[in-house]
Structure 1
């Protein structure tokens, strides 16, 4: 950062991106500036890179845009009206920024506010793939000492996964199936295991299933090998359009189905099956209501998602990662992290 500027990753169009010098953020009233230490690359970021992201076509986002919403860092400046004790504190932040005045926000559902901004995603709020980010102080979540920058940047996806695991309602004596062993699916599996459930994973590639087994999940299957066994809960954490219906078919009567994955095209379920099996179906959009509990689980060590991070790169390598390239020397995990301090 020099002379009021900083380095940031900027998307100017589908497949068009690079690192630019941009104005550094200023802590306006009610907001803070954070020195970013770690950012996770997410499937949503890939959709912005390819141009497939729905918000681009719905008017909620446009190019040029600055992405990145899974982050951790240290507060370096505070605006007027912000408690100065935030200075120097290690934090992560909520992605969903409601207007805080509408009915949904007043009822505690600011993550589905109609007028919400989403950090690095919606409403022109710049994301964290940069040396600094500015966010409202009310959106901050402090990170205790055991939760380092790696874990801090895994809080946002972890909050989504925790909510999905809680919605599944599976514990000791229950058998749960997770569809899709990507970052969210594996995080869901980790939280379900911590809750005492017997966890099964359904995937497509030998590599992803082998990685899951390396995390201690013995019950890993493909569509061809999935056993005919009762599942009390099924979580769809995939992006496959046919799996929401399969989840409903596989779950036990009176069981629970959780939908957290999003397909690129419309998926369908037969509500007759839903009703006749007396199944509870839950959709999960955001990690917002689960962030504090996720931080607590990471701090206590009941869930350790560190192995999911395969590599950490600098800002200059982000475009290649978004284009699907695997960093040299990457381990087997599904998540790539970015440290904007790297050259």
Structure 2
């Protein structure tokens, strides 16, 4: 089969690789759609911390925001999975450690991460093999675009839940990228008054086009009480800024991650009685994200600016925008386009 292979920093090719087999407990999926994520970019540039810790190494096959159709099942897997449209969890815990037994397999010390960590091949390919226990079925009207947005949506759902806002509360999302905008959509669905804080005019204009008129730069941000601030930015100073902007007694949610350490004065956290929450992984949010998409409570499809084939992935990872693409922050890949 054809797959995207990263062989080193800045080295991305489409290669013929062995097709995956349906080993016991696993299924093979024909991939329909994959989202290109910031983590994929960091793997491409060599900046991802896992490359330094040894959790990831080249060569690797990236891609973890995916959907497709099950075409083969291994021994011990219910054959009813055959033909079903699915997505799956990125975080694959060992299922035996204390964290996994307590439902926290997404922070299992020995976990694999699809397309990222532990040698588990990713979905930027024609086919993908994953454990059957990691699957989530996609029913109409969750189409392939929505299916490949379940994984980032699960992250955003968790961030919105961690903000703990109610109808009439005011929330600020720092960073109007894919995760920030998805979080804003989920916060709005919870009844909150949602503001966004960004840097560039086009990204803020896009947010306004999604129905968020309160999209600001640091210079224009009004002095308002924010009951929750979600940091979805990659800027090292954003967590401290979020703490500065949140109301005493409010909540700061950190879902963005910087490439260098961020510094927060815990005295400011304590003296304002602020609750700070970190969010890693979509795992506990996958089913709620699918439910929200099915019900129409959240529709993230406008975030997808373009859909390309495998042959264009290298250019996208290098920061190029596909020709004729829209203004949204997300690029999808359909492995069948240039087969």
The answer for the alignment partner of 1:34 in structure 2 is: 29
Asked if 1:129 corresponds to 2:136, the answer is no
2:85 to 77, 90, 98: 90
The answer for the alignment partner of 1:241 in structure 2 is: 236
The answer for the alignment partner of 2:284 in structure 1 is: 289
The answer for the alignment partner of 1:323 in structure 2 is: 318
The answer for the alignment partner of 1:3 in structure 2 is: none
The answer for the alignment partner of 1:342 in structure 2 is: 337
| TM-score, normalization by structure 2 | 0.99
The answer for the alignment partner of 2:134 in structure 1 is: 139
The answer for the alignment partner of 1:62 in structure 2 is: 57
Asked if 1:307 corresponds to 2:295, the answer is no
SS across alignment from 2:145: helix
Moved over 3 A (4+): none
The answer for the alignment partner of 1:167 in structure 2 is: 162
- Deviations 1:205-242, CA, capped at 9 Å, x for gaps: 00000000000001000011011110000000000001
Per the TM alignment, residue 173 of structure 1 is displaced from its structure 2 partner at its CA by 1.4
The answer for the alignment partner of 1:23 in structure 2 is: 18
Per the TM alignment, residue 171 of structure 1 is displaced from its structure 2 partner at its CA by 2.0
The answer for the alignment partner of 2:261 in structure 1 is: 266
Asked if 1:116 corresponds to 2:104, the answer is no
2 CA distance for matches of 1:214 and 1:249? 28
SS across alignment from 1:23: coil
| TM-score, normalization by structure 1 | 0.98
The answer for the alignment partner of 1:205 in structure 2 is: 200
SS across alignment from 2:277: strand
- Deviations 1:285-334, CA, capped at 9 Å, x for gaps: 01000100000000000000000000000000000000000000000000
Asked if 1:150 corresponds to 2:173, the answer is no
1:192 to 172, 187, 190: 187
Per the TM alignment, residue 17 of structure 1 is displaced from its structure 2 partner at its CA by 1.0
2 CA distance for matches of 1:167 and 1:16? 38
- Deviations 1:126-169, CA, capped at 9 Å, x for gaps: 00000000000000000011101110000000000000000001
Gaps of 5+ in 2: none
2 CA distance for matches of 1:149 and 1:80? 27
1 CA distance for matches of 2:114 and 2:334? 18
The answer for the alignment partner of 2:274 in structure 1 is: 279
Asked if 1:253 corresponds to 2:255, the answer is no
The alignment covers a number of residue pairs equal to 338
SS across alignment from 2:17: strand
2 CA distance for matches of 1:109 and 1:67? 23
